[in-house]
Amino acid sequence: MAESESGQDKTEDPTEKRKQDSREKGEVARSKELNTLAIMLVGASALLIFGGAMAQDMMELMRINFSLPREVILDQRSMATYL
């Protein structure tokens, strides 16, 4: 059932006339979870499509950064080329 502005449940369902008036005004019931579902589906699809490439790029970046020679890490001037 619908809630009033004070947050309390209404005791009666809306009449057919009130439902019809709401439809004519464009005030239709819509689930709040619909937006959440759409966002989750888009996010999951993006991970399926781009996830493999992103993981490979991150592994390559980590491989390069973790395999720097000690001299390069300790010398501030040479580190600028790796940033």
Q: Domains of the chain: which residue ranges?
A: 16-82
**Amino acid type, 40:** M
Question: Which pTM does this prediction carry?
Answer: 0.45
**Spatial CA neighbour of 68 closest among 83, 53, 48:** 83
Determine the pLDDT at residue 25: 84
Q: What are phi and psi of 29, to 5 degrees?
A: -70, 135
* pLDDT, tens digit (0-9, with 9 covering 90-100), for 55-83: 999 999 889 878 878 887 788 887 777 76
Q: Report whether pLDDT(2) > 60.
A: no
Neighbour count for residue 62 (Cβ, 10 Å):
10
d(CA 60, CA 67): 11
Neighbour count for residue 22 (Cβ, 10 Å):
13
Determine the pLDDT at residue 65: 79
